Structure 1
Amino acid sequence: MMIRVRSRDGSERITVPDSKTPTVSDVKTLIETQLRVPVLNQTLSTNQNLLLAKNPDQLLQFSDMSDPETLISSLGISHGSMIFLSYEGERSIQGAPRVSPAGSFGRKMTMDDLIARQMRVTRQESPHCDSVSFDRDAANQFQHYVNETLAFAVKRGGFMYGTLESDGRVRVDFIYEPPQQGSEENLVFFRDPDEEKLVEAIALGLGMRKVGFIFTQSVGQNKRDYTLSNAEILQAAELHAESELKEWVTAVVKLEVNEDGGADVHFEAFQMSDMCVRLFKEGWFETEISGDVDPKLSRMKKDVVIGAKDTREVDNDFFLVLVKILDHQGPLSTTFPVENRITLVTMRALKTHLDQSKKLPFVKRISDFHLLLLLARYLDVNADVPALAVCVQLQTAVPEGYQLLIESLANAS
């Protein structure tokens, strides 16, 4: 049996003999012998939030693997399962050779060698944001389409918009889905500058901004041994670097098998580490990924240092900083059809929506980002779009002229 172990050092594996039903104590002993972490220093859990714990009191909250006699099978741990390890102190990474600062005997150091010695890749312990909170309806609208229409057979993605709160929380209130093509392994955005200009105008009027990237993993990827693939790391790092926002969040949505053998939709959130973004900006990543590269490893153009080892292959988990997920009920509705999906959104959808919401105040009837995006195609992006968005943000009455214009657009369909 193979069990994956994720710690601050990234993702590693232990091999459990098949001759017995292992207990938590057996697993801890194997971690000590195979990964060189003393049993007394270990805290184990099946809950990934263990890696966010910052003091002993917080560690005590993760007690599911505290009893050494507990059979790991009773915790749902089987071949290929991931468990999480927090430990005190330092350790030497197995297989990391000692490296002389001067390089090999008789060999002169080049400038690239010196740069590589300085480019040390370590795991970033804490994200720049305290947490990310998703509007429940926006998150559900996104995952429901992928689940019910695409059956998680292909990837889907979008940009998250919201606010940065004073308490360090990133708040996501709507998701914009650009034109795209998804396959089982890859996701390609066909960025439309004109459409994105409309999105930014709406967000500005709503008092929001672009705060992250969200994408789904396909069911085919569930069989692969990685958190994010090297292609996903590249895409996430590129978008994080483009944003110039240190609190930028990358969210992953996937199906996971539950205890009853069914499938549950699961959200995970990360920040790409500062080192990852720096390496991307400075062109260290190999961007052409060949088929012989393990997808859980990112290939570098030059050696970097991990522990005491020079390498050009970095475990993707080194670049991921776990972010706590919360939820909230935001100010926008999510009943209007979403842009750039299989079904084209037309003015007929606007008429249907307005007819079904006649009893509501007009500002409530248009308090939906996807509806505003459709209207923005027919309005002045510099004047009309922000003005309508401000009405929605403040929930103030929509001027009669705009009401007549919107109703005439709907009735012309």
Structure 2
Amino acid sequence: MMIRIRSRDGLERITIDNPHITIAQLKTLIESQLRVPVQNQTLSTNQNLLLAKTLEDIARFTDMSNPQTLVSSIGIAHGSIVYLAYEGERTVAGPNVKPAGSFGRKMTIEDLIAKQMRVTRQENPHCELVSFDRDTANVFQNYVNESLAFAVKRGGIMYGTVSPEGKVEVDFIYEPPQQGTEDNLLLLRDPDEENLVEAIALGLGMRKVGFIFTQTISQKKKDYTMSNAEILQATELHGQSELKEWVTAMVKLEVNEDGGADVHFEAFQMSDMCIRLYKEGWFETEIGEEVDPKLSRMKKDVVVGVKDTREVDNDFFLVVVKIFDHQGPLSTTFPVENRNSPVTMKALKTHLDRTKTLSFVKRISDFHLLLLLARILDVNADVPALAVCVQTQTSVPEGYQLLIESLASAS
């Protein structure tokens, strides 16, 4: 049996073999395990004991003053909190802990709680809303619906813009190399390819704005909004971004009123507390099969409500974001990278032949096409120059037109 002891030094624990011990025996255990002499101890189930500032104030707490009273008779059981005031000093076990102050140097309840992490729900996101380019969202969901049948997970990094008011617009999705299963998504990050993506985005006046992933049909049967593995992955990417408006989007199948299935988008931000806990190393990152997927496990106790716990409901970390749509500046008709079939120059020739009636800048106004070209052209000069032409919808220099057409013709 474990009883929690809260004093001016914070929350500690003692182990008890017999739940029917007396208060005198409890004090003896506190002396042996926490090194506070019995004669210096005052115990109470009333947290206001820790606010008492004088011996006279402390003496008023008498609910645990009879040494022969059984602790079970006053409701103390496994997990209960007993408040301890004591005279003198002691060294608290643990790294870099200084001796507690002498009697009279009290901490308030708020001070004690502040020494721990308190997990609460965050009511409002930092972004006003997220708006998806209709065609970009459609290309992503069509693939996972028609080609993958929502049987394995898929993910991508969202790029776009953020307005001064916090409105996030998603204009293209980069799908990195990855491996998806029913329950997990492994992004095989390719720094060289991502450098090309960043160069294109910079030329387009865009940046990373979020992470998008799918849930599978098998996950629909489980009782969570996001699993602990999804929370960890989304939080890691959010934390790396350093963008307070960063959005995590989720795509899944939902049963409609007619009994059919509709593709459904949801958007969230990971809470500020979630990001802080992750950056400070509180999350257990190795998740065993015995852990309920709707719970995130911590390495140390956090406070949820009035409870100290190491398991937090994932929903505490999610802040809902409103979803809108818009028509963005890019087309989405070029094959998408890192899917089942490699994208080759033959795809470029097919695309250019199909779009002959458009201006050349319109013909190349597709992120996935620019990424194919970026593998061959100079990433520091050619790629930004072409991206700027696309952003401003100005004529592509003739030299670039000839180069791109020759690359297509050589396939």
Query: Residues 288 and 362 from structure 1, CA distance in 2 versus in 1: closer, same or farther, beyond 3 angstroms?
Result: same
Q: C-alpha displacement at 1:213, in angstroms? A: 0.3
CA–CA distance in 1 between the matches of 2:118 and 2:165? 31
Q: C-alpha displacement at 1:165, in angstroms? A: 1.0
Name the counterpart of 1:353.
351
- Aligned equivalent of 1:309, options 307, 310, 321: 307
Counterpart of 1:386, as a letter, is P
Counterpart check, 1:169 vs 2:167: yes
Counterpart check, 1:284 vs 2:266: no
Name the counterpart of 1:384.
382
Name the counterpart of 1:152.
150
Counterpart of 2:183, as a letter, is E
Instruction: Tell me the percent identity.
Output: 79
CA–CA distance in 1 between the matches of 2:295 and 2:401? 54
Name the counterpart of 2:319.
321
| Structure 1 portions without partners, runs of 5+ | 1-96
CA–CA distance in 1 between the matches of 2:125 and 2:81? 31
CA–CA distance in 2 between the matches of 1:288 and 1:212? 24
Counterpart of 2:208, as a letter, is K
CA–CA distance in 1 between the matches of 2:218 and 2:303? 33
Q: C-alpha displacement at 1:100, in angstroms? A: 5.2
SS across alignment from 1:344: coil
CA–CA distance in 1 between the matches of 2:84 and 2:405? 75
SS across alignment from 1:118: coil
Q: C-alpha displacement at 1:118, in angstroms? A: 2.6
Query: Residues 117 and 311 from structure 1, CA distance in 2 versus in 1: closer, same or farther, beyond 3 angstroms?
Result: farther
Name the counterpart of 2:241.
243
CA–CA distance in 2 between the matches of 1:280 and 1:101? 31
Name the counterpart of 2:402.
404
- Superposed, 1:9-20 pairs within 5 Å as none
Name the counterpart of 1:74.
none
Q: C-alpha displacement at 1:115, in angstroms? A: 8.1
- Superposed, 1:32-47 pairs within 5 Å as none
Checking the alignment, whether the CA contact within 8 Å between 1:116 and 1:302 is kept in structure 2 is: no
- RMSD after superposition: 1.9
Name the counterpart of 1:207.
205
Checking the alignment, whether the CA contact within 8 Å between 1:162 and 1:209 is kept in structure 2 is: yes
SS across alignment from 2:118: coil
Higher RCO (Cα < 8 Å, 6 or more apart): 1
TM-score, normalised to structure 2, is 0.74
Q: C-alpha displacement at 1:108, in angstroms? A: 8.7
CA–CA distance in 2 between the matches of 1:175 and 1:193? 17
Query: Residues 100 and 204 from structure 1, CA distance in 2 versus in 1: closer, same or farther, beyond 3 angstroms?
Result: farther
> Residues 114-135 of structure 1, C-alpha deviation per residue, up to 9 Å, x if partnerless?
6884310000010000000000
CA–CA distance in 2 between the matches of 1:295 and 1:398? 51
CA–CA distance in 2 between the matches of 1:256 and 1:358? 40
Name the counterpart of 2:138.
140
> Residues 337-391 of structure 1, C-alpha deviation per residue, up to 9 Å, x if partnerless?
0000001100000000000000100000000000000000010000000000000
Checking the alignment, whether the CA contact within 8 Å between 1:136 and 1:328 is kept in structure 2 is: yes
Checking the alignment, whether the CA contact within 8 Å between 1:117 and 1:304 is kept in structure 2 is: no
Structure of greater Rg: 2
Query: Residues 308 and 194 from structure 1, CA distance in 2 versus in 1: closer, same or farther, beyond 3 angstroms?
Result: same
Name the counterpart of 1:70.
none
> Residues 163-221 of structure 1, C-alpha deviation per residue, up to 9 Å, x if partnerless?
00123210100000000000000000100000000000000000000000000000000
Name the counterpart of 1:183.
181
Counterpart of 1:249, as a letter, is V
- Superposed, 1:358-373 pairs within 5 Å as 358-373=356-371
CA–CA distance in 2 between the matches of 1:250 and 1:99? 38
Bigger Cα displacement from structure 2, 309-318 vs 167-176? 167-176
> Residues 270-308 of structure 1, C-alpha deviation per residue, up to 9 Å, x if partnerless?
000000000000110000000110000000000000111
Checking the alignment, whether the CA contact within 8 Å between 1:121 and 1:304 is kept in structure 2 is: yes
CA–CA distance in 1 between the matches of 2:170 and 2:93? 47
Moved over 4 A (4+): 97-103, 107-117
> Residues 255-274 of structure 1, C-alpha deviation per residue, up to 9 Å, x if partnerless?
01111110000000000000
Checking the alignment, whether the CA contact within 8 Å between 1:116 and 1:304 is kept in structure 2 is: no
SS across alignment from 1:302: strand
SS across alignment from 1:240: helix
SS across alignment from 1:266: strand
Query: Residues 311 and 327 from structure 1, CA distance in 2 versus in 1: closer, same or farther, beyond 3 angstroms?
Result: same
TM-score, normalised to structure 1, is 0.74
